């Protein structure tokens, strides 16, 4: 702990000392502090009582230094560069399958229809036992993932186990260039409303959204829902391209301002739009960040569409990557971005965020007011506030446990083995009898989990024991524990609708892949229902945008 503290102090010295010195002294301060750091590192490595790992020690220091700036300035080691490229390009060499770990098992959680995995017979629910004749239990998840990926054109062999047979199925694939679509789903919700889901802002995101909008208009769409929920952002230029689909050529979308002159730039739409009149709803939640917030903020500032959901993440910073020695990189925050009205949605204080990193409640008194084209008041400093606020229902403890422990996943495999087909995903719905069968199956598995209340009670008991008051409180604590235990016995019924919805999504994916997972959720999605309802009331839609 002490060595980390010394290392952190030395690294921070480079920042704190040079930040308040005249330019003429800056280079001297940098050189001096780098020399101090190198000397410190050498002495610690030589004299510390235990052997230290130089790479690990340096990584701790670098991460601590960069984290003192903001959460988005990060060091990317050589081992992490390939994953970073994949995240930014959406491309990699592989077979087109996603896996997850359930306990000691590695299972296939999704396959993409146009790639080798699906074409050669790999299916969601398959458990991977061997990869290139190497037993998977001997590999970590990261090692297995790296084996699955590789140079385009090279072979990979999988031995998988399927629920209906104990015999291993041998499958062979040739790796291809995999391009994960930014648009995992688009289609018509009803005869007049089109829906498009955007999951990333990697290259071609704008073109993919444009293609989806054109296709849905040809099918009769009179309103478009653009779903940015859970989208963490990506390439800024793709956000500009998406806005250009709905707003005229020559309109400012976003401006960036930083310390270096090259970071100051104004991005405008450059192409003829697809449709500047079609009613538009943008869905956001606390997981919508960065480029997602540029799109939502621009649409809102021009009163081009109605934003529905919950307040977005609150990331108004721009990062660029710079190469370092030994094939590593650093991602540096170089500027803040501003929506057309002039607001920066970056949260004012990094330290006051929810557990998932999103911004919580910020008083309007500490935020600046801005105006949309029609005069509506919007605020900076804490994400995009939706025009229609809807609170997202929190996932219950039992639902999370059923997902994490693979109970829902495994039962979906069992259901699929007993049902050759199901109705369309949009129509699929488990009956009460089928849900009861699921509940009975769960109980037969001796399923157990710890809720947040269980965890808090455990802390309370440990604290009482430390303070020697446990004997006095034991009766009350035992009563609370029994009450929690009794309540958990009824939670499969209490949270039936939520669990049933998750189960329906997982089952639908077995038959219709990713599309099925999306379509089966339409009937219970509060934000989509609100959007469809709004399109049916054009007067209300106009009233919201005209500040009446």
- Which residues are known catalytic residues? 290, 301, 315
Q: Which whole-number Å values give the CA distances from 462 to 190, 239, 467, 477, 483, in the listed order?
A: 55, 50, 9, 11, 19
Q: Which residue has the tokens 């030395």?
A: 10
How do beta strands 91-94 and 369-371 pair?
unpaired
Rounded to 5°, angle at Cα 429 from 102 and 110: 35
Cβ burial of 192 (10 Å; 0-12, 13-18, 19+) is middle
Name the β-bridge partners of 252: 268
DSSP state letters, 400-423:
HHHHHTTHHHHHHHHHHHH-S--S
Residue 109, C-beta contacts closer than 8 angstroms, at least 6 positions apart: 98, 99, 100, 124, 409
Beta strands in 384-504 (DSSP E): 388-389
Q: Which whole-number Å values give the CA distances from 309 to 343, 385, 430, 499, in the listed order?
A: 20, 9, 27, 22
Q: Mark residue 235 as left, alpha or beta (left: phi above 0; alpha: psi -120 to 50; beta: remaining).
A: beta
Cβ burial of 467 (10 Å; 0-12, 13-18, 19+) is exposed
Which of 230, 238, 221, 116 has its CA nearest to residue 173? Answer: 116
The DSSP 8-state label assigned to residue 394 in this structure reads P
Which of 266, 263, 307 has its CA nearest to residue 288? Answer: 307
C-alpha 207/C-alpha 21 separation (Å) is 47
Q: Which whole-number Å values give the CA distances from 382 to 61, 122, 310, 368, 386, in the listed order?
A: 30, 44, 12, 10, 12
The DSSP 8-state label assigned to residue 182 in this structure reads S
C-alpha 165/C-alpha 147 separation (Å) is 25
Which of 234, 145, 224 has its CA nearest to residue 190? Answer: 224
């Amino acid at each position: 702990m002490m060595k980390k503290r010394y290392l952190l102090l030395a690294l921070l010295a480079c920042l704190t000392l040079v930040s308040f010195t005249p330019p003429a002294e800056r280079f001297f301060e940098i050189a001096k502090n780098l020399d101090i750091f190198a000397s410190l590192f050498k002495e610690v490595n030589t004299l510390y009582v235990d052997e230290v790992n130089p790479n690990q020690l340096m990584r701790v220091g670098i991460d601590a230094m960069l984290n003192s700036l903001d959460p988005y300035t990060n060091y990317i080691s050589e081992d992490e560069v390939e994953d970073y490229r994949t995240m930014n390009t959406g491309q990699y060499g592989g077979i087109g399958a996603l896996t997850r770990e359930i306990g000691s098992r590695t299972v296939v959680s999704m396959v993409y229809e146009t790639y080798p995995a699906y074409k050669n017979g790999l299916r969601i629910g398959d458990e991977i036992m061997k990869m290139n004749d190497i037993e998977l239990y001997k590999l970590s998840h990261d090692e297995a993932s790296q084996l699955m990926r590789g140079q385009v054109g090279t072979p990979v062999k999988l031995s998988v186990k399927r629920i209906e047979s104990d015999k291993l199925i041998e499958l062979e694939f040739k790796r291809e260039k995999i391009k994960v679509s930014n648009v995992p789903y688009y289609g018509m919700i009803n005869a007049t409303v089109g829906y498009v889901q955007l999951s990333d802002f990697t290259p071609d995101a704008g073109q993919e959204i444009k293609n989806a909008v054109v296709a849905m208009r040809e099918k009769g769409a009179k309103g478009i829902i653009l779903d940015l929920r859970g989208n963490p952002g990506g390439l800024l230029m793709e956000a500009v391209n998406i806005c250009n689909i709905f707003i005229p050529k020559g309109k400012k979308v976003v401006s960036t301002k930083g310390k270096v002159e090259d970071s100051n730039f104004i991005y405008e739409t450059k192409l003829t739009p697809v449709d500047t009149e079609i009613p538009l709803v943008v869905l956001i939640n606390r997981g919508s960040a960065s480029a997602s917030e540029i799109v939502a903020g621009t649409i809102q500032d021009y009163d081009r569409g109605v934003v529905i959901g919950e307040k977005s993440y609150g990331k108004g910073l721009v990062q660029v990557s710079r190469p370092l020695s030994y094939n590593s990189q650093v991602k540096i925050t170089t500027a803040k971005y501003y929506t057309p009205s002039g607001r920066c949605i970056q949260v004012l204080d990094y330290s006051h965020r929810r557990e998932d990193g999103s911004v919580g409640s910020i008083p309007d008194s500490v935020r600046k007011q801005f105006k949309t084209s029609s005069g509506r008041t919007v605020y900076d400093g804490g994400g995009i506030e939706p025009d229609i606020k809807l609170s997202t229902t929190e996932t219950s403890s039992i639902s999370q446990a059923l997902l994490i422990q693979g109970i829902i996943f495994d039962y979906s495999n069992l259901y699929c083995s007993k049902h050759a087909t199901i109705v369309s995903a949009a129509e699929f719905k488990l009956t009460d009898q089928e849900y009861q069968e699921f509940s009975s199956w769960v109980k037969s598995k001796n399923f157990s989990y710890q809720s947040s209340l269980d965890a808090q009670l455990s802390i309370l008991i440990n604290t009482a024991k430390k303070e020697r008051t446990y004997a006095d409180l034991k009766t009350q604590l035992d009563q609370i524990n029994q009450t929690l235990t009794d309540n958990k016995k009824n939670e499969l019924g209490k949270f039936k609708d939520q669990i049933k919805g998750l189960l329906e999504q997982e089952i639908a994916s077995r038959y219709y892949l990713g599309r099925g997972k999306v379509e089966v959720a339409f009937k219970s999605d509060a934000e989509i229902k609100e959007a469809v309802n709004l399109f049916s009331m054009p007067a209300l839609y106009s009233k919201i945008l005209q500040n009446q």
